[in-house]
Amino acid sequence: MMAADILGEIANADWPLFGWIDDIRAPLAAARAAGLPGALATLHRVEGSAPRGPGAQMLFTVLADGTIEASGYFSGDCIEGDVAHHAAQVLADGRPCQLHYGQGSPWIDIRLRCGGALYVMVERVPADCPAVANLLRFSAERRPCRWHSDGITRRVTVDEGPLLDTTAEPFSLTRRFDPPRRLIVSGGDPGALAAAQLGTLARFETVLVRPDGPATPPPFPVARYIRARPAEAVAELGIDRWTAYLGATHEDHHDLGGCLAALRGGAAWVGMIGAKSRTEGRMAALRSLGAREDELARLHLSPGVIGLGKSPFEVATGIIAQIMQAMNPAAERA
């Protein structure tokens, strides 16, 4: 059977928005809350060209109507349906499996358009798995950790290392999980709201800070809405290297304090929206507040991508792109 035929077993396969999910922890939390076991598939080896690199993951659960709910993607529909087929079997009998697609694969009818080879391990994760509980706890605490599994037993340790390690014998894999990428946006004008909405769509844990803003939250999803001063909100939230901060209130008494707190907390990216003519005055004000030159060197004033345009979403698109670029080295460090 071709992978495209098997893809029909996946719920909502006609519109595979499940491929937008890159961080498998939210689907794991949902399955755990529903009392459902999941089949966790990890891409642990890639040969040649491929859409996703080693460490990419998918999660499969079986719904009441027998269809399979999927999260994540590996190949853009070349193998997802077949992985779902094997995941259903793993959920049924509990035995992990190793899958090999592409060059040298035993399944010659499943072709990879990129011409490479993909190796995937699929394991059954019980709803009450202690390792999942620890993984989710460390995520909520914003602590990096590593998932260790041989397909049968699994554990989580609080430490850092390569994104993926499969050198152990007999075979087991270790996959690093960093805290979720977070974006803090302060402001309430169309530009700030566009940045916050794009951040949410880009799967950032997005926090909107609007000093003395409306009591009602914004009309689009955000992780949190805070009505305090930016510096106070940053102190409450805490800053780490998986956090980006954008000051967009256009009020220096708000934006400068928030940016300085984010810089001192070691944020991955810190920026402030405003005209270039305000740069010199803002830098002087930050120095008067005690900012060091190495901190100021990391500050993005008038951020964005030249040539995209000046509408709220054009500016926000350039800013989100800069933030993603800044965060990639931290996410993929060896």
Question: pLDDT (tens digit, 9 = 90+) per residue, 138-178?
Answer: 999 999 999 999 999 999 999 999 999 999 999 999 999 99
Q: Are residues 206 and 295 in the same domain?
A: yes
Among 154, 177, 200, the domain-final residue is 177
Domain membership of residue 269 as a residue range: 182-331
Looking at the chain, list the stretches that DSSP marks H as alpha helix, in order from N- to C-terminal side: 3-6, 25-33, 80-93, 130-140, 190-201, 230-237, 252-264, 279-288, 293-296, 312-331
Read off the CATH number of the domain in which 309 is found: 3.40.50.720
110 and 226: one domain?
no
- SS3 state of residue 25: helix
CA–CA separation, 287 and 135 (whole Å):
41
Q: What is the pLDDT of residue 50?
A: 81
Q: State how far the Cα of 326 lies from the Cα of 274, in Å rounded to an integer.
A: 20
**Which two structure tokens, joined as six digits, stand for 164?**
């993926």
Tens of pLDDT, residue by residue over 253-280, are 999 999 999 999 999 999 999 888 888 9
Question: Are 227 and 292 members of one domain?
Answer: yes
Helix (H, G, I), strand (E, B) or coil at 269: strand
pLDDT band at 9 (very low <50, low <70, confident <90, very high): low
- Whole-angstrom CA distances from 50 to 43, 47, 57, 94, 197 are 11, 8, 14, 29, 30
Better-predicted residue by pLDDT, 332 or 177: 177
Q: Which domain-ending residue is among 177, 211, 246?
A: 177
Q: How many domains does the chain have?
A: 2
Same domain, 75 and 200: no
Domain limit, last residue, from 177, 200, 227: 177
Q: pTM, whole model, 2 decimals?
A: 0.89
- Say yes or no: 52 and 165 in one domain: yes
Are 115 and 202 part of one and the same domain?
no
Euclidean distance between CA atoms 195 and 222, whole angstroms: 11
What span, in angstroms and rounded, lies between the C-alpha atoms of 332 and 289?
Answer: 34
User: Are 210 and 295 in the same domain?
Assistant: yes
Q: What is the spatial distance between Cα 195 and Cα 90, in angstroms, rounded to a whole number?
A: 41
Report d(CA 283, CA 256) in Å as an integer: 9
pLDDT in tens, 52-73: 899 999 999 988 888 889 999 9
**Percentage of residues in the chain with pLDDT exceeding 90?**
76
Interacting residues of 11 by C-beta distance below 8 A, sequence separation 6+: 63, 67, 68, 69, 70
Does residue 85 sit in the same domain as residue 64?
Answer: yes
Cα→Cα distances 284→3, 13, 230, 252, 267, Å: 61, 55, 20, 12, 21
Main-chain dihedrals φ then ψ at residue 97, nearest 5 degrees: -140, 155
15 shares its domain with 113: yes
**Hunting for tokens 């993926």 — which residue is that?**
164
Confidence of residue 331 (pLDDT cuts 50, 70, 90): very low
Residues 117 and 263 in one domain: no
- CB under 8 Å, gap of 24 or more: what pairs does 167-176 form? 171/98, 172/148, 173/42, 173/44, 173/121, 173/148, 173/149, 174/146, 174/147, 174/148, 175/42, 175/55, 175/57, 175/146, 175/147, 176/55, 176/144, 176/145, 176/146, 176/147
159 Cβ neighbours under 8 A, 6+ residues apart = 144, 145, 146
Rounded to 5°, the CA angle 274-254-237 comes to 115
Shared domain for 42 and 136, answered yes or no, is: yes
